[in-house]
Amino acid sequence: MSGLRLMAVHAHPDDESSKGAATTAKYAAEGNDVLVVSLTGGERGSILNPAMDVPGVLDRIEEVRREEMAEAARALGVKHHWLGFVDSGLPEGDPLPPVPEGSFALVPLEEATEALVRVVREFKPHVMTTYDENGGYPHPDHIMCHKVSVAAFEAAGDPERFPDAGEPWTPLKLYYDHGFSIQRMEVFADEYERIGEPFPMQEWLDRFRSMAAARGDIMARVTTQIECAKYFPQRDDALRAHATQIDPNGAFFAIPMDMQQRLWPTEEFELAQTRVRTEIPETDLFAGIREAEDARTALEDAPR
């Protein structure tokens, strides 16, 4: 047991299964303590899987999403905590409608930060993961997730901040998870071309390319690749657990598992902040921390 702690902060139930999921499964399987925090309950998610669009599901969507999340956490082998804010929904239309009152995206940053700081001080993570400043995906709750996670990473160890939210704890590293890389998609597209079959995610690739035209491929920001192919089946089980949100016949499952494991066996992260010395590129979220912990233990064990 290496006994380190990883906290993955996500906006909605199902995000933990589509972003960095195999990495959390891996660290949990290797004997670390892994906690997924869902900031909202996903109450405004619509039913995205036609097979689940049946009477009785939408009426009890809140409860259904709780059951789905519990099942996903079991599949990944991680602990789970609801922070209890309300899903803002994805505003659609032109101009965009306002975010509904009471939604997470409208909660004052201090209030949301204090709630997350309380969990950080209780769980005492060595490493936290969240989204980048663009939310990884332009949903108001994802942008808010970024802001709250960064604020909590900075405040949790400071005794002057939120003195009623528990004993200070200083997490050592903060990462952004980067799931949607063009480079990865192109590796698969090339493989389909090689075997002479149409690429089932062409639409996604085109969409990524038009998004990246403005910002460049996310791979340019990746500092850390985690080898986790062995845990892809658990990731897929967790995704399927969110039955109302994920169509098992959809793009998430279009590329055969063995092809993914063979051609792109990693998940990608960007080291956003660190309080320990580490060398880029990394292959371990706990790089620099294991060494610091080992040194500390060695010092404690040394004869005096």
Binding-site sequence positions for Zn(2+): 12, 15, 142
Summarize the annotated binding site as residue ranges: 12, 15, 142
65 part of the interface to Zn ion, by CB under 5 A: no
CA distance 141 to 138: 9
Binding-site member from 8, 11, 39, 127 for Zn ion (CB under 5 A): 11
Q: Which is nearer to Zn ion, 87 or 236 (CB)?
A: 87
Helices (H), the chain: 15-18, 21-29, 61-76, 109-123, 140-155, 182-194, 202-215, 232-241, 257-263, 289-301
Closest CA to 129 of 153, 107, 109: 153
87 part of the interface to Zn ion, by CB under 5 A: no
Q: Which is nearer to Zn ion, 90 or 276 (CB)?
A: 90
CB under 5 A: which stretch of 10-18, 66-74, 103-111, 155-163 binds Zn ion?
A: 10-18
Binding-site member from 12, 65, 173, 184 for Zn ion (CB under 5 A): 12
Q: Which is nearer to Zn ion, 87 or 217 (CB)?
A: 87
Number of residues that bind Zn ion (CB under 5 A): 3
Residue with tokens 């005096």: 304
For the CA atoms of 200, 283, 35, 87, the dihedral, rounded to the nearest 10 degrees, stands at -40
Q: Which residue, judged by CB position, is nearest to Zn ion in the bound state?
A: 12
Rg of the chain over all Cα atoms, to the nearest angstrom: 20
143 part of the interface to Zn ion, by CB under 5 A: no
How far is C-alpha 76 from the chain's CA centre?
13
> What Cα–Cα distance (Å) separates residue 109 from each residue in 114, 147, 163, 198, 249?
9, 8, 17, 46, 38
Find out whether 115 and 99 touch, Cβ atoms under 8 Å.
no
CA distance 131 to 270: 9
CB under 5 A: which stretch of 8-16, 57-65, 69-77, 205-213 binds Zn ion?
A: 8-16
Binding-site member from 6, 7, 9, 15 for Zn ion (CB under 5 A): 15
CB under 5 A: which stretch of 12-20, 29-37, 79-87, 296-304 binds Zn ion?
A: 12-20
User: At closest approach, how far in Å is the CB of 102 from Zn ion?
Assistant: 18
Q: Which residues bind Zn ion (CB under 5 A)?
A: 11-12, 15
